[in-house]
Structure 1
């Protein structure tokens, strides 16, 4: 899977990445069409339970 770059357009249901916790790997999908924001988690970033992974930008 290619890395998503800031400014990339994504469609609802598109795979954005994965969250791994021990042996469990969960798919993160776009809940709606949008644009990848400038602030995007780095691969391997440590996230806590309930943390917001990202907020997709929408076109006006």
Structure 2
């Protein structure tokens, strides 16, 4: 079901790529995104003190 929802969200996009953020410790989500073709390109942290670090992932859509 999750794979189908993921595919539905991206199937008619006209952009070259999609971007998302996910926490590095979110193992099941990280694994699913990797299986769906997402690639980690960076890490980021919001400027607020104590903000968590997020992995930045991209997926080519074309």
Give me the TM-score of the superposition, normalised by structure 1: 0.25
Which one has more relative contact order, counting CA pairs under 8 Å at least 6 apart? 2
From the two aligned structures, give the one with the greater strand fraction: 2
Give me the TM-score of the superposition, normalised by structure 2: 0.25
From the two aligned structures, give the one with the greater helix fraction: 2
Mark the structure with the bigger radius of gyration: 2
